Amino acid sequence: MSSAYDDQNIFAKILRGEIPCNKVYEDEFVLAFHDIQPQSKVHVLVIPKGAYISFDDFSQEASDAELAGFFRAAGKIARDLGIAGEGYRALANHGVNANQEVPHFHLHLFGGQPLGRMIKVPG
Ligand code: 5GP
C-alpha cells in the first residue's frame, strides 16, 4: 500500500459500501462493476480490494497472490460477460498523461462491439 493513497477516492468509497455500484463480480481480491458512464456497449471496471493508486503502484507493491488473483479474475469476468469470444479491450490509465481520474487502480474492460483503433493521441 502506498502512503499517498487517498482513501476518500470514489472507488475506495464503493469498496467500503458507502456508495453503490452495479456489481458484476466480487471475490477476496477483486470487485468489478459497470462504469457509470459507459464508453462502449459493455464497459466494466475491475478493481483490486487493496489500496493501490494505479497500475504502476499495483505492479510494484501488490503481493503475488493479489497480482494473480486480480488478473485471473479480470480474464474470468470478461469471459463471464460474454465479450471474450468476439474480443475486447483491457486498459489501465496511470497518471496525468493518461488522464487517470480515479486514484485507485482499475482496469477498464471494453467490449460488446467493434472498438476501432487502439488510442487517439491529441495533436
Ligand atoms: P480513469 O479515467 O480514472 O481511468 O477512469 C475512471 C472511470 O471511472 C471513468 O470511466 C468514470 O466513468 C468511472 N467512474 C467515476 N465515478 C464513478 C462512480 O461513482 N461509479 C462508477 N461505476 N464509475 C465511476
- Measured in Å, residue 31 CA sits from the centre of ligand 1 at 14
Q: Where are the beta strands (DSSP E) in the chain?
A: 23-26, 30-34, 42-48, 88-91, 107-111
Boundaries of every domain in the chain: 10-111
Please tell me the predicted confidence (pLDDT) of residue 123.
74
- Active-site residue set: 106
pTM of the predicted protein model: 0.96
CB–CB of 14/21 below 8 Å?
A: yes
Of ligand 1's listed atoms, the one at least distance from the Cα of 101 is 3
Please tell me the predicted confidence (pLDDT) of residue 119.
80
CATH 3.40.50.300 fits 10-111, yes or no: no
Neighbour count for residue 83 (Cβ, 10 Å): 21
CB-facing half-sphere around the CA of 107: CA atoms within 13 A: 25
C-alpha closest to that of 112 among 55, 10, 60, 39? 39
Q: Per residue of the chain (123 residues), give pLDDT as tens.
A: 445 999 999 999 999 999 999 999 999 999 999 999 999 999 999 999 999 999 999 999 999 999 999 999 999 999 999 999 999 999 999 999 999 999 999 999 999 999 999 887 787
